[in-house]
Amino acid sequence: MSRYSIIIFTLVFALSSCAQKNEPLMRQEYKIINAQIPGKKEKMDAYALIAMDAYNRGDFETAGRFFEKLYDIDPQIDYLVDAIKAASFQKNYERIKRLIDKGKGKFNDSRFINRYLVAYYLDKKDIENAQKIINKLLKTDPSLEDFELAAIVARVKGDMTSAQNYYQKAYEINHDPKALIDLAGVLLNQNKIDQASSLLETHTRIYGCQKHICEMLIQIYTKERNLSALEEIYKRAYEKNKNAVWANALLELYAYEKKYDEAIAFLKKYKLGDDILLDIYTSKKEYKKAYKLANKLYKKTGDPSFLARAAVLEYESSKIKDKKLLKNVSEKFEKSVYKLNDPLFYNYYAYLLIDHDIDVKKGIELVKKALKKEPDSLFYIDTLAWGYYKEGKCKEAYELLKPYENDKSEQEIIDHIEKIKQCLKEKKSDTR
């Protein structure tokens, strides 16, 4: 390695080590390089290394300046192009125009430079000059990028028919998903919903359910409330990449439509989570299947929430609420509710103890735990009132439920209020 090569490497390493990500090198650091590297070739090597290092770090300010210095020393189009690219990341259209002007008379026919000149004129809202350059680009062997840029100019002009035509041509070149999304966006802007969805659907059937294409279809079908089409797109999206997001979306849709059998079939086909299957069995009120699965999941995981759910399901699935059943259910709750500290299970176990006169006092203690977490829950308030009723404290029970006397949403609570009011009448008559 030559002496200058060692100097270049040492300087570049030192400068890039000092620089933070996106932090431009300072003017004095340029001077250090110029002072220590006198030869033109060696300088260019140093500038190239610094420019590439800065570009990779996202320091486009430094990268652009050093690419421009390279161009000033040796005016090759590649250096100018790299300087323009760096400026474009900063959206520095003034610098882009200045760089383009540097290349005037040398690279006027460069498609790349002309495209950036269109971007500059668009930024300046000079549509006339932007259109002139686009017309020039479209005359000879236009590329996907040229058609897309022409579509953007057309959209800025408000000419949606031309924009649609250019995006269509861009898409036909290599069926680029971005071009299709832009085309569909223009169609939707013109309220051509069926045409947009048809193009997107055709693409997914040929090339698969690519993420952004399928997301656009989902937006369309959701807005149109086309639930059957949504089901299909979620299924195809999941089959394409096995992303759990799509599976969950499909299952939520099935739940909304109450298509539990379809949800079960989907879960079994792809061997997805048994915990979701448990929710579906429970929603379908297939309590025996749900109970069996909850027990299986508890044995497999040791998660007390599955044991508590098994307790609920065992109770709900049994027509005869005999002592043996109540004992089994109570044992499951005893092993789980205190570990979970969940108001839902506190309340369920409390109501069981109170309603079946197993241990009313303990039931009241448990439902009070639930009410500490959710003090406004009508169901928990009802359980506590029912506990007081069972203890003969009808006045306290009635005070709890009195604010809800006109609420007719839950028949069981209505029945409780009536019994509590009857209890109050009987106590009054006993005191006479």
For residue 210, tell me if it sits in a domain: no
| Structure-token pair, residue 241 | 């990449």
Q: What is the DSSP string of 205-244?
A: HHH---HHHHHHHHHHHHHHT-HHHHHHHHHHHHHHH--H
pLDDT at 349 over 70: yes
For residue 56, tell me if it sits in a domain: yes
Q: What is the rounded distance in angstroms from the CA atom of residue 356 to the CA atom of residue 330? A: 11
Query: What range defines the domain where residue 30 resides?
Result: 1-74
372 or 428, greater pLDDT: 372
For the segment 14-35, what is each residue's pLDDT rounded down to a tens digit?
444 444 544 555 444 555 455 4
Q: What is the pLDDT at residue 33? A: 55
- Of 48, 74, 100, the one marking the end of a domain is 74
Instruction: State the total domains in the chain.
Output: 2
Other Cβ atoms within 10 Å of 85 Cβ, number: 17
Q: What is the pLDDT at residue 41? A: 81
pLDDT bracket for residue 78 (50, 70, 90):
confident
Q: Is 415 exposed, middle or buried (0-12, 13-18, 19+ CB in 10 A)?
A: exposed
Radius of gyration of the chain (CA): 36
For residue 417, tell me if it sits in a domain: yes
73 or 331, greater pLDDT: 331
- Helices first, then strands: H and E counts in the chain: 25, 0
- Of 41, 74, 107, the one marking the end of a domain is 74
| Structure-token pair, residue 314 | 């065992």
- Of 54, 74, 94, the one marking the end of a domain is 74
Residue type, 69: K
Q: What is the DSSP letter of 410?
A: -
Q: What is the DSSP letter of 106?
A: T
Q: What is the rounded distance in angstroms from the CA atom of residue 413 to the CA atom of residue 353? A: 17
For residue 194, tell me if it sits in a domain: no
pLDDT bracket for residue 90 (50, 70, 90):
confident
| Structure-token pair, residue 175 | 């069926």
For residue 393, tell me if it sits in a domain: yes
Q: What CATH number should be reported for the domain holding residue 374?
A: 1.25.40
Mean pLDDT in the chain?
A: 85
Q: What is the pLDDT at residue 285? A: 86
pLDDT bracket for residue 87 (50, 70, 90):
confident
| All residues at 6 or more sequence positions from 340 whose CB lies less than 8 Å from its CB, including other chains | 304, 305, 308
Q: What is the pLDDT at residue 55? A: 85
The SS3 call for residue 358 is coil
End-to-end CA distance of the chain: 115
Q: What is the pLDDT at residue 274? A: 84
For the segment 312-325, what is each residue's pLDDT rounded down to a tens digit?
999 999 989 999 99
Q: What is the pLDDT at residue 367? A: 96
Residue type, 245: V
| Structure-token pair, residue 239 | 């089959």
pTM: 0.57
Q: What is the pLDDT at residue 38? A: 61
pLDDT at 9 over 70: no
